[in-house]
Amino acid sequence: MSIRTIADISPAELPEHAARLLADGHRLALISARQDTGGFALAYLFVAGRPDRRTELRLRVPSEQPAVPSLAGLSFPAGRFEREIRDLYGITPLDHPLPRRLVRHHHWPRGWYPMRTDAGPPPSFGDPEGPYPFVTVEGQGVYEIPVGPVHAGLIEPGHFRFSVVGETIIKLKARLWFVHKGIEKLFEGRHPADGLELAERVSGDTGVGHALAYCLAVEEATQVPVSAQAQRARAVLLELERLYNHVTDLGALCNDVAFSILHAHTGRIREQLLRLNAEVTGHRLLRGGVRLGGAHLKALPDPDRLHAIGADVAEIAELALRHSVVADRFTGTAVLSGEAARDLGTLGYVARASGLDLDARRDHPFTDLGDFTPARRTSGDVLARFQIRAEEIAASIALITQLIDEPTAAADPPPPEGSSSGVGLVEGWRGTIAHRIELAPDGTLIRVKVVDPSFFNWPALPVALNSAIVPDFPLVNKSFNLSYAGNDL
């Protein structure tokens, strides 16, 4: 059971309350804004685990010259959420140390804030705000390498600007949000059941994670009970999604150091997992498995098949790390220290590879996983991020076996307390996903705030690449494997 606390405060009280929560071990999971009659309502969600605690600070600001005190000096993620809200709502974070735009690109019309209720259709796009103010690194021998936003292959657009001396990266800036899709706006006015398919498509490789976070948020707000058996089925789906994505990444990392035969073998295993997904849900990417109030599984995965796959993956990982070239390329490459990972607010395997003990499966559980302990490493390099994936594959297979073998007569949890809002926290395969929903009196959605873990992890990529060499960028980028789609809502 989670402990949920809601506090209505004034804008002036915000820094003091936030500082107290952060000092008590909470982290900022999201900031959500919504325009209504007479002004804007903001909700700051702070979360902590063991026990599962969720605290919302709610405040209001007027429509005329809306502004809030900036929390960027207390929390790096807070500064990014504040920049996002300013770009989409026009709410100014006072005394923000880096008041540059985050989401808005130069062709967005000045003064048009698309998430406002009175935004209307977009005006003609032009070039009113000028180019993005990239920091220029100067000095003898320094030159720039621009990459993207259009890339070879099928990945979505993102611009990377390297400042380089020789082959050494002095500074990297990642510029995203080229495909802002307005997904959060598309939720507005829908009935909760009609928003589920949209939640599944926030990021195509994380359909289960986002659908489940959305359902948990809706179920909390509407007091929809979910049986213990259905929650276990959802956990099975979540681990199946983790399996095929981690296997894919292991192969891609091997391919980036020219060990293509292992890449081919992970492709073979990935296909086995996708076919297993289709048997379990009828969809290779597990869509349709998570439903409001429950789950729908056509069949349960065969533990013997999963254990055979696990042994196959373990052999591939061992072959990779026993190869001196692979070990040399992985070890000590793009180190993200534990201190940097903590300060930046990283999540998921990126955080755990740098020693952070964070995992929503344990810290914010929706079903009982016993004494589950997430895998951790401390070196924070490409090697650690590879090893974490390999270890999580074994852990996921063990969890699925445990969940399938548990008796179905376990006591069902009590229904959640009703509210006009709800929060869902789920450990997706990249890290913790957060959804927060608000309902109108007629039961329709008036606000859905979606946070993919990539929002937290993108700033860590340039930090890890500091002093790395340009040829290592594809390898390091793949070791993070962040979502453009999930981050570009």
Which residues define the annotated binding site?
A: 184, 450
- Tokens in use for 398? 């063990």
- The packing angle between helices 228-256 and 303-322, to 10°, is 30
Strands 92-94 and 67-69: parallel
Q: Which residues pair with 400 in a beta bridge?
A: none
Name residue 393's amino acid: I
Q: What is the phi-psi region of residue 111: left when phi exceeds 0, alpha when psi lies from -120 to 50, beta otherwise?
A: left
Whether omega before 462 lies within 30 degrees of 0, making that bond cis, reads no
CA gap 427, 366 in Å, rounded: 10
Binding site, annotated residues for Mg(2+): 184, 450
- Under 8 Å CB-to-CB from 440, ≥6 apart: which residues? 446
Three-class secondary structure of residue 145 per DSSP = strand
C-alpha separations of 123 from 85, 199, 218 in Å: 20, 28, 34
Helix (H) / strand (E) containing 255: helix 228-256
- Tokens in use for 480? 């993070």
Name residue 374's amino acid: P
Helix (H) / strand (E) containing 329: helix 324-330
CB 440 within 8 A of CB 188: no
C-alpha separations of 274 from 205, 211, 268, 283, 303 in Å: 12, 18, 10, 8, 15
Q: DSSP letters along 166-235, please?
A: TTEEEEEEEE--TT---HHHHHTT--HHHHHHHHHTSSGGGHHHHHHHHHHHHHHHHT----HHHHHHHH
